Amino acid sequence: MLAVADTNHISEIDRKPLFATRFEERRRAAGLEVFTSIVTVQEMTRGWLALLNRPVPAREQVSVYARFQRSIEVLRDWDILPFDSEAADLFENLKRQRLRIGTMDLKIAAICLAHNAVLLTRDALDFNQVPGLSVENWLD
C-alpha cells in the first residue's frame, strides 16, 4: 500500500529526529511505501526562498541557508510522486466540485487519488472534504 507524506509531515521529519525515527517505525509496522509529492517540494522550496529573499545582512542568512540545505538533503532521500496528466485531470475535477480547500492541497489530493495512496497530513479537516481520499495524521 502507498502513502504520501504531506508538507507538514516532511517538515517534522526534517526538524525533529525523534519524530523521524517514530515515523520510520510506524511506516515499517504498517508495511507502507511512503512517498512525498512534487507539490510538497514546491511548497518547501517556496518557503525557504521567501526567507532567503528578505533583505537582511549576509551573516543572518547563514543559518537559513544551512536549514534549507538540510531540507534538500532530507528530500533527496524521498521518492517524489509527480503531478502528471492523471493528477491534473483529477485536480480539475476536484476544482469543479468547489471544495473549500487550497489549490496546492487539491494538487496533493489529486496525486494521492491518482496513486490510490493514503495521505499523511495534519490537515485532516481540510483533506477529509475530498471524496475518496484516505487521510491519516501521524503527527498527533
Q: What is the pLDDT of residues 61-76, one digit of tens each?
A: 899 999 899 889 989 9
Look up residue 47 and give its amino acid.
G
Total Cβ atoms within 10 A of residue 139: 15
Residue 140 has pLDDT above 80, yes or no: no
- What pLDDT sits at residue 128? 94
pLDDT digits (tens, 9 = 90+) for 13-41: 888 888 989 999 999 999 999 999 999 99
pTM of the predicted model as reported, rounded to 2 decimal places: 0.90
The torsion angles phi and psi of 117, rounded to 5 degrees, stand at: -110, 150
Look up residue 96 and give its amino acid.
R
User: Which residues have a Cβ under 8 Å from the Cβ of 107 and sit 6 or more positions away?
Assistant: 37, 39, 83, 87, 91
Domains of the chain plus CATH, in order, are 2-43+80-136 (3.40.50.1010)
Strand bridging mode 135-136 / 118-120? parallel
CB 108 within 8 A of CB 6: yes
Partners of 109 in beta bridges: none
Phi-psi region of 33 (alpha: psi -120 to 50; beta: other; left: phi over 0): beta
Confidence bin at 122 (pLDDT 50/70/90): very high
% of the chain beyond a pLDDT of 70: 100
Phi-psi region of 84 (alpha: psi -120 to 50; beta: other; left: phi over 0): beta
